[in-house]
């Protein structure tokens, strides 16, 4: 297993691979740039805050991660070749858009 160290799950390896996938997807898809802009400009008035996650926390997290992917152009991880990453992110985006459209109707 790629994220195992002995019998333990290695969170650091998992996050390293996710960051590479995110960076590769951001710099190699047509829609990622506009998606981040849409998330940054989203109207959070309908978001229900919890005691530990506020609207501002969400906004800052999106802005911070967007800045990171813009500044870090990484290759896809070796265990996830570029074609697989592109397939994954494109299918995930398509599935999300279908789900989100159903919420609005």
Read off the pLDDT of residues 26-79 as tens digits, 9 standing for 90 and up.
999 888 998 899 888 888 888 888 888 998 999 999 999 999 999 999 999 888
17 has a pLDDT exceeding 70: yes
The predicted structure's pLDDT at residue 11: 87
Report the alpha-carbon distance of residue 54 to residue 37 in Å, rounded. Answer: 20
Q: Is 6 helix (H, G, I), strand (E, B) or coil?
A: coil
Number of domains in the chain: 1
CA distances to 19, 70, 83 from 36, in Å: 15, 10, 22
The whole-model pTM stands at: 0.77
Tell me if 65 is assigned to some domain: yes
State which residues form the domain around 60. Answer: 54-78
Tell me if 33 is assigned to some domain: no
Tell me if 9 is assigned to some domain: no
Tell me if 15 is assigned to some domain: no
Task: Provide the pairing of β-strand 8-9 with 4-5.
Answer: antiparallel
Tell me if 12 is assigned to some domain: no
Tell me if 24 is assigned to some domain: no
Tell me if 39 is assigned to some domain: no
């Amino acid at each position: 297993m790629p994220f195992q160290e002995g019998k333990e799950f290695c969170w650091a390896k998992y996050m390293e691979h996710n960051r590479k996938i995110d960076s590769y997807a951001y710099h190699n898809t047509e829609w990622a740039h506009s998606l981040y802009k849409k998330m940054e400009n989203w109207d959070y008035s309908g978001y229900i805050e919890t005691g530990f996650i506020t609207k501002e926390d969400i906004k800052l997290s999106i802005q911070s991660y967007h800045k990171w992917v813009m500044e870090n152009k990484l290759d896809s991880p070796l265990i996830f070749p570029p074609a697989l990453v592109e397939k994954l992110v494109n299918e995930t985006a398509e599935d999300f858009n279908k789900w989100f459209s159903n919420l609005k109707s």
